[in-house]
Structure 1
């Protein structure tokens, strides 16, 4: 099997910088609170509930017993998915572009999990990360245009037998939010999600898993298997 080395485009590099700047800057405290048990607004509560439901859906695609499996948590954020994977016995490499989120994830990992966890701040597409049995990428690919998304998935699927990931679906609500973001950008606004019609993605082995919609959280779960 040949090694696939992704060739990120200029748009990919620019988006990566914006994502890193946002999550390592103004969003760090907000994201830490959202992914904790602390009280949040009603809108953010729907996002929290949606993310919990999506994480459960993604995990349902993986074996309940992951002992002996190497799993990449691509865009680990504050580590909720990482902890679940390690609880199933996986050897997890948790990667995020934001060093500050990685530090939060590291601090939150419960002691005594049967699996092993390693953390790394950097690009989740780095081919030096190696090969995996499974890759999970929850809401970490939602900011990229279709060509960059397809390139990312091609690289990931060359290094794993299964990639479970999410995209922002092309719903009327998300399209309206996307257009508003394009028309009225702000320096402190989160990176704009790029809604995708999953049926138009040119990715071998792609299949739809399901959608989670909870208030302001709408996300589509897909997987690639080879």
Structure 2
């Protein structure tokens, strides 16, 4: 599938199917044991991505690409950054705007749209937590190539690692009719993905595994 087709599938999934689930998962509301492991894994990954950025973010302009309900954007803004949060799902953006703490409103802006929109301008840093996990290696390489001219320092993002469990889930997912599928994560090897990237350098950071949450953090520098 093309980048545009995958992006549209992700938008449809979150706006029509998963909004309530995602709203609950990213809140303090009680969740099932399985979802609790996912919540814990996402908390750990959020901390890991932030750790790849400077401690002092005052004066830094940061893009939160695929910001979802805004948790990562809030933490970056609290550290002094000027944060632009973009998500393909208007419903998730609505939740992020409602959750924005009053003392951060001057440091944050949220909008629904494509995270690759050049009209968003240049950034010192870009974070993309679990928003690129549905794309092929070729798509990710093109994403990084397109972002490189507008990136002053680094971009940290996640992919689904190529583990036996995720590969099995990926193969089973492809058996369903396309109309019945939720967006399927595409597993990647960091080393093979790095070989695709020609517009900068890609560094493997760390893998986070927490029950049903398995994700690998990477850092890109143009």
| TM-score bin, normalised by smaller chain | over 0.9
| Contact 1:67–1:115 (CA under 8 A) maintained in structure 2 | no
Q: Deviations over 1:16-69 (max 9, x none)?
A: 110000011110000000000111111111100000000000000011211100
Q: Please, what is the CA RMSD of the aligned residues?
A: 1.4
Aligned-partner Cα distance in 1 for 2:4–2:157: 20
TM-superposed deviation, 1:187:
4.3
Alignment correspondent of 1:168? 160
2:213 is the alignment partner of 1:217: yes
Q: Pick the aligned partner of 2:119 from 125, 128, 146.
A: 128
Normalised by the size of structure 1, how large is the TM-score? 0.92
Alignment correspondent of 1:5? none
Q: Pick the aligned partner of 1:198 from 167, 190, 200.
A: 190
Q: Any idea what SS the aligned residue of 2:34 has?
A: helix
Which runs of 4 or more aligned residues in structure 1 lie more than 3 Å from their structure 2 counterparts after TM superposition? 185-189
The 1:218–1:185 alpha-carbon spacing in structure 2 relative to 1, beyond 3 Å, is: farther
**Structure 1 regions of 5+ residues with no counterpart?**
1-9
**Structure 2 regions of 5+ residues with no counterpart?**
none
2:193 is the alignment partner of 1:207: no
Alignment correspondent of 1:16? 7
Q: Any idea what SS the aligned residue of 1:125 has?
A: coil
Alignment correspondent of 1:116? 107
TM-superposed deviation, 1:96:
0.2
Normalised by the size of structure 2, how large is the TM-score? 0.94
Number of aligned positions between the proteins: 217
